[in-house]
Structure formats: C-alpha cells, structure tokens
Chain A
Amino acid sequence: MKDYTFYIASAYGFAALVVVAAIAKITLDYRALRRKLARFDNKEQNR
C-alpha cells in the first residue's frame, strides 16, 4: 500500500474535490435562483 499511497490519495482526493465542487455549484445556483424568484414574487405582491 505504502508504495502507491501518493497515487491512491491523489486519485481519491481529486475525485472528492470534483464531487464536492459539483454539489456546491448546483446547491448555490439553486439558492440564488430561489432568491431571485422570491424577489419577483414580492414585487408582484407589492403592485
């Protein structure tokens, strides 16, 4: 195991980074969209 630790850790580390980045991007986009849509709803109600 020890001989390949760098390669194994790098592979799993990179995959984890990509998965976390994808989850974060999609979640943050969702929150931003909900916020913008809520602003539109508020404007409509105030008219």
Chain B
Amino acid sequence: MLKYANPTNFLALAARLIPWLAGAAALALAVGLYLTFFVAPDDYQQGASVKIMYLHVPAAWLGMMCYMVMTSAALGTLVWRHPLADAAQKAAAPLGAAFTLVCLVTGSLWGKPMWGTWWVWDARLTSVLVLFLIYLGLIGLWQTIEEPAQAARAAAILTLVGVVNIPIIKFSVDWWNTLHQSASVFRLGGPAIAPSMLWPLLIMALGFTLLFFTLHLMAIRNEILSRRLRRLSITAAAAEDPEVAGEVFS
C-alpha cells in the first residue's frame, strides 16, 4: 500500500485501473437503467414517479460517501501528512458537490408531484443543502489560499468540522418530524422495499459508486500532474532569474 504513496507509482496504478473501473461503471449503469425502466414495477401509491428514486437515492448515498472519503483523506493530511491524501481530498470535493446537487435537484423533481412542492425547509432537505454548501466552501477555500500546504491544512480542518453534518443527514428523519420519508434500505429489521425495486436500486448504486471511483482516480491523477507542472514552472523561473526563485522559496 505504501508503495502507492509515491505519486509516480500511483499514476501507473491509476492508468491500469481507470479503464476497468470505467467499463464496470458503464456496465452496471446500463444494467441498472434497463432494470429501472423495463423490469422494476411502478409504486402502488407513487406510480411511475418512483423511477426517480433509482437516481435520487444513489446520488444521496454518493454525496455522503464522498464526504467520508474526504474525511479519511483529511486525517491522512493532518495526522500522517500522506503526500496523496491532500490530492485525494481536493479531487473529491467537486465530485461530492456534483452528486449532492443531483440529489437535491432530483429530490425536488420527485417532491413536486408527490408533496405538491419543489422544496420544504425540513431537516433532511436542509441538512443535504448544508452538505452542498460545505462542498462549495471547501472548493472556494482551495481556490483562495495560494500556498498548497496551507490550503491543505485549512481544508482538512474544515472537512473534519463539517463531518458532524453526515450523521445529522442520516438520522434527521428519525430525530425530527420531516416531510421526507424515513430510511427504507439501511434500517434495523432489514429493507422495507420490495426486492423487485431493491435490486435495481442496488445495481444503480453500484454503478454510481464505480463511476465515482473512476472519476476520483482521474481527478487525483490531474491533481498530481498539476502539482508537477507547478513545481517545474517554479524551477524554470528560478533557473532564469535566481531573484525570482528567492522570492518564491522564501
């Protein structure tokens, strides 16, 4: 495992893994979409609008899972100063924001015909919106602080503070009276959803997860190359003008 802490070894591993992960993601999503539209039945109360669930629920899971990946990476940055942890965290934030945005928009499109409104300020919806805002805050932080090591530490601390929102999202439907329904898959006593709907949902979730890991590996690779380019630019500037080098490295 430590072997892949070296960016060059990691780039070689990523180059081997990305095509396989991308292929597996495409296959799982294709099977999931087929099951969603041609096999899974409509809900007896919600009718065909339940098709949105197969998109909304995996996007919500991924929005939260991505934050947990970032939390692990934040620990890696602060505790072990792992050279790839910061790159992994920075690369995950836009993906987490994208999945959370998909969750919010598809939830709104599902809420309108079922609840009669696009949005309510209930605990689940609000806490997911807070998650989205945390992602945007982290992306903004990385863009604002120019010194990479300083930005990494600040982002890691903010990530660790923000992780308190994840259990709030998960248990908001139990702790408060919400319009959003309570958990129906990961709950004590097993899933409360029929297998004919559960399997397409799990396969779509698998497809989304594989897609996330594919894009995350690709984004980490970009981050490593971007840092290599920055280092080369500074070295080139130093070679041409040692005074500039003195300013850059001071």
Residues of A within 8 A of B (CB): 1, 3-4, 7-8, 10-12, 14-15, 18-19, 21-23, 26-27, 29-30, 33-34, 36-37, 40, 43
Contact A30 B222 (CB under 8 A): yes
Q: Which residues in chain B, 41-83, are within 8 Å of chain A measured between CB atoms? A: 42, 47-49, 51-52, 55-56, 59
Please state if A23 and B215 are interface contacts (CB–CB under 8 Å): yes
Number of interface residues of B (CB under 8 A): 32
Q: Using CB atoms, name the residue of chain B closest to A33.
A: B225
Interchain CA distance A27-B228 in the complex, whole Å: 18
B139 close to A (CB within 8 Å): no
Interface mask (B218-250 → A, CB under 8 Å = 1, otherwise 0): 110110011011001000100000000000000
Distance in angstroms from A42 CB to nearest chain B CB is 12
* CB atoms of B226 and A11 under 8 A apart: no
Contacts of A27 in B (CB 8 A): 218
Cβ of B94 within 8 Å of any chain A Cβ, yes or no, is yes
Give a binary string over B82-117; 1 marks a CB under 8 Å from any A CB, 0 the rest. 000000000000110010011001100110110000
Question: What are 6 pairs between A and B in contact, CB < 8 Å?
Answer: A7-B52, A11-B105, A11-B109, A22-B215, A26-B222, A37-B225
Is B211 part of the binding interface, using a Cβ–Cβ cutoff of 8 Å? yes
Residues of B within 8 A of A (CB): 42, 47-49, 51-52, 55-56, 59, 94-95, 98, 101-102, 105-106, 109-110, 112-113, 211, 215, 218-219, 221-222, 225-226, 228-229, 232, 236
Q: Is the CB of A22 within 8 A of B55?
A: no
Given A11-B106, A33-B229, check contact A3 B47 (CB 8 Å).
Answer: yes
Given contacts A8-B49, A37-B225, contact A19 B211 (CB under 8 A): yes
Contacts of B218 in A (CB 8 A): 26-27, 30
Q: How far is the CA of A36 from the CA of B101 in the complex (A)?
A: 32
Per the bound structure, the CA–CA distance linking A26 and B109 in Å amounts to 28
Pairwise interchain contact B222-A33, C-beta atoms closer than 8 A: yes
A14 to B101, CA, bound (A): 10
